[in-house]
Amino acid sequence: MAMKLVVGLGNPGAEYAGTRHNAGFDVIAELVGRCPPCKPQTKFSSVIWEVFADTGKVLLVTPTTYMNRSGEAVQQIARFYQVMPQDMAVVCDDINLPLGQVRWRAGGSAGGQKGLADIIERLGTDQVPRLRLGVGRPPGQQDAADYVLSRFRAEEREEFGVMTKIAADSVETWNSDGLVCAMNRFNRSS
């Protein structure tokens, strides 16, 4: 059985906790919370939890590089554990999706997501499954970079919490039943 790798993207440090850009970290935290307690390891510029599912070993990963250098961590882990791109899932925020919407893709462009772009560049392929988490568009003329580094407003937190649980459910489906099943079950048209 092939080992699977689930990488949640975000920025390390308390000042970034709870920001839109760290939505991927929040999904990993949800997944870790669903597993029997295990001690995380800090290696390959990441925090890694090794968990076991019916399908075999799954590495839940939060890179400790900053978002724009996420590929550095993913490349090291993929090389060491010999994980192929199709056995990875990158979980990241997406300002092009409405808040609360999740969307799986088998591959393609990074769509402006710099962490995903770095992973694609370092792995040398855009055929990396990814789960995009809708964080909504910046209001008015707000800069996109400032927006993704902002925290969810009080009225958005509940919807974000629901999305985090749905996203974690969809990662479990991806792991057990495959990408097509996860796409069919969780991708919703807006």
User: Which of helix, strand or coil describes residue 68?
Assistant: helix
Burial grade of 104 (CB within 10 A; 0-12, 13-18, 19 or more): buried
Question: And the tokens for 174?
Answer: 């991806």
Catalytic residue among 4, 20, 21, 130: 21
Dihedral angle of Cα 144, 148, 153, 156, to the nearest 10 degrees: 100
* 87 close to 2: Cβ distance less than 8 angstroms: yes
No. of H helices and E strands in the chain? 6, 7
21 has catalytic annotation? yes
User: Catalytic amino acids?
Assistant: 21
